[in-house]
């Protein structure tokens, strides 16, 4: 099965740390005293997502800053919201495919705790196979070594296969939308051309009638 370059690139982003990408470490975000920072990822349905966040004081003075955090699924539907937090964890299983957001902002009462009015936040966003506790799986099923690695590889292959199917469905949907749009544009163009011809003929007829009345022709 051949995969187009665009599909391959999209798959790399959607694989969530599968075999196509190395394990993704936590990202660090600088949160300004005003405004917010958001990260997002396109995730398919029925995928486990786990996020850990920790806010630290860059200046190491006074009390540590706190943040407000909000997690939203597609169409801005709220999944998780906490205010005045220094650390925490959220977890959910996606109910629909689409773009999932995590937005962080400095808590409005805490900006004076740092010299620069900013907070530094570590966000570890795990999707799909990265959320599994393989040590627990190995102990429960009594597997180790090569067998455990084969199990991990099988999970990655299944995840990538599901992502390929999801991307192909999205590709087909977008192609259908493009075809409908092109058809409507073509119809509108023909209608516009027809109206232009009718208006032109009417103008010629009107001018000819005017000149005949004035006996100019």
CB 75 within 8 Å of CB 42: no
Per-residue pLDDT at 69: 93
Instruction: Tell me if 178 is assigned to some domain.
Output: no
Q: Which domain holds residue 12?
A: 5-168
Could you tell me if residue 204 is inside a domain? no
- pLDDT for the residue 12: 42
* Strands 36-43 vs 119-127: parallel, antiparallel or unpaired: unpaired
Structure tokens belonging to residue 174: 């977008």
Residue 98 lies in a domain: yes
The tens digit of pLDDT for each residue in 65-93 reads 788 999 999 887 899 999 988 899 999 99
Q: Is residue 23 part of a domain?
A: yes
Q: What is the CA 12 to chain-centroid distance, rounded? A: 13
CATH number at residue 69: 2.60.120.680
In whole angstroms, give the CA distance from residue 34 to residue 60.
20
Mean per-residue pLDDT, 92-110? 85
Answer yes or no: is 199 within a domain.
no
Q: Give the chain's mean pLDDT.
A: 80
HSE-up (13 A, CA, CB side) for residue 117: 7
Split into its structural domains, the chain has a count of: 1
pLDDT tens per residue, range 113-158: 444 567 888 999 898 888 887 788 788 888 888 888 888 888 888 8
Predicted confidence (pLDDT) at residue 210 exceeds the cutoff of 60: yes
Instruction: Kindly state whether residue 215 falls inside one of the protein's structural domains.
Output: no
pTM (predicted TM-score): 0.61
pLDDT digit string, tens, across residues 21-30: 334 568 898 8
Q: What is the C-alpha to C-alpha distance for residues 121 and 55, in angstroms, rounded to an integer? A: 4
Note whether residue 53 is domain-resident.
Answer: yes
């Amino acid at each position: 099965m051949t995969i187009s370059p665009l599909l391959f690139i999209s798959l790399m982003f959607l694989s969530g740390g599968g075999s196509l990408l190395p394990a993704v470490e936590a990202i660090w975000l600088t949160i300004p005293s005003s405004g917010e920072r958001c990260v997002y990822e396109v995730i398919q349905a029925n995928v486990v997502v786990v996020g850990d966040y920790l806010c630290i004081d860059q200046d190491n003075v006074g009390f540590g800053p706190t943040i407000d955090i909000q997690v939203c699924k597609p169409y801005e539907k709220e999944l998780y919201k906490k205010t005045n937090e220094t650390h925490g964890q959220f977890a959910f299983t996606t109910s629909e495919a689409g773009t999932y957001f995590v937005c962080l902002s400095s808590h409005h009462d805490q900006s004076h705790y740092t010299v620069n009015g900013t907070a530094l936040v570590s966000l570890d966003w795990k999707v799909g196979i990265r959320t599994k506790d393989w040590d627990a799986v190995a102990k429960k099923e009594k597997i180790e070594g090569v067998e455990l690695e084969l199990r991990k590889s099988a999970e990655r292959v299944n995840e990538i296969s599901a992502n390929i199917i999801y991307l192909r469905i999205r590709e087909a949907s977008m192609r259908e939308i493009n075809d409908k749009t092109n058809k409507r544009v073509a119809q509108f163009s023909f209608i516009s051309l027809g109206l232009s011809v009718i208006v032109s003929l009417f103008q010629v007829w009107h001018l000819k009638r005017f000149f005949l009345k004035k006996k100019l022709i």
